[in-house]
Amino acid sequence: MGIFSALSGIFGIGKKQVNIIVVGLDNSGKSTFLNHLRPVDQRSSQIVPTVGFSMSNFSTGNLTFNAFDMAGQGKYRSMWESYYGTSQALIFVVDSADRMRIPLARDEFWMIMDHKDIANRPIPIMVLANKMDETDAMSASEISVSLGLDVIRGRHWSIQATCATSGVGLDKALEWLSVEVQRFLDSRKT
């Protein structure tokens, strides 16, 4: 198996491994999103808040993602930047029903976007407007305006309405992300 993996890497066949960082405020649904990507028999029935970070793996198309699920509590947010430089994409998860903390989510999002390891690299950005099943949830377009996504220049980004508990919207988000990560990787070869 080791020889096959080595040969497939040399000839460019097989799955490429990429790192993504999954961030957002606490209780936005980051861990639930990643839990939903696991095979059904490996999903956890109870999701607990992440302390520090955890890592999950999943595959789509010809990519294998190493997803770093970062804790969203204030005291852990400074750890996020340790993973920016090695990530080929960023997923920012927003609790669409938590209207009170949307300004805080916006501030955190723009601190990320202004960080030198993100600002100087055109990695794709996927925003998950999560918890769309909640009665008071903001629409994806409202979240987009609230976060100021329309001013992003020089990189590909998208926002997708999702419900991480049921999986609604996740396939579409990952399809977009896979295409954009592949485009980012191909642009670095030239």
131: left (phi over 0), alpha (psi -120 to 50) or beta: left
- Report the distance separating Cα 49 and Cα 90, nearest Å: 20
Q: Which amino acids are annotated as binding site, given as ranges?
A: 24-31, 50, 72, 130-133
Query: Among 41-55, 63-77, 120-134, 135-149, which stretch is predicted with the lowest mean pLDDT?
Result: 41-55
Q: Which is more confidently placed, 57 or 182?
A: 182
| Residue that is written with structure tokens 């198309």 in the block | 61
Q: Which amino acids are annotated as binding site for GTP, given as ranges?
A: 24-31, 72, 130-133
Alpha helix segments (H runs only) across 42-132: 102-114, 116-119
- Report the distance separating Cα 118 and Cα 133, nearest Å: 31
Sheet containing 63-70: give its strands across: 53-60, 63-70, 16-23, 89-95, 125-130, 157-161
Query: Among 99-113, 143-157, 176-190, which stretch is predicted with the lowest mean pLDDT?
Result: 176-190
pTM: 0.85
Tokens standing for residue 177: 């992300």
Radius of gyration of the chain, Cα coordinates, nearest whole angstrom: 16
Q: How wide is the angle at C-alpha 53 spanned by C-alphas 90 and 92, nearest 5°?
A: 25
- Report the distance separating Cα 79 and Cα 70, nearest Å: 8
Q: What is the pLDDT of residue 189?
A: 78
pLDDT at 125 over 90: yes
For residue 92, give the H/E element and its range. strand 89-95
Q: Which is more confidently placed, 56 or 46?
A: 56
Domains in the chain: ranges and CATH: 16-189 (3.40.50.300)
Q: Which amino acids are annotated as binding site for Mg(2+), given as ranges?
A: 31, 50
Q: What is the pLDDT of residues 60-102, one digit of tens each?
A: 888 988 877 666 666 566 777 777 889 999 999 999 999 999 9
Query: Among 7-16, 22-31, 43-52, 101-110, which stretch is predicted with the lowest mean pLDDT?
Result: 7-16
- Report the distance separating Cα 99 and Cα 84, nearest Å: 27
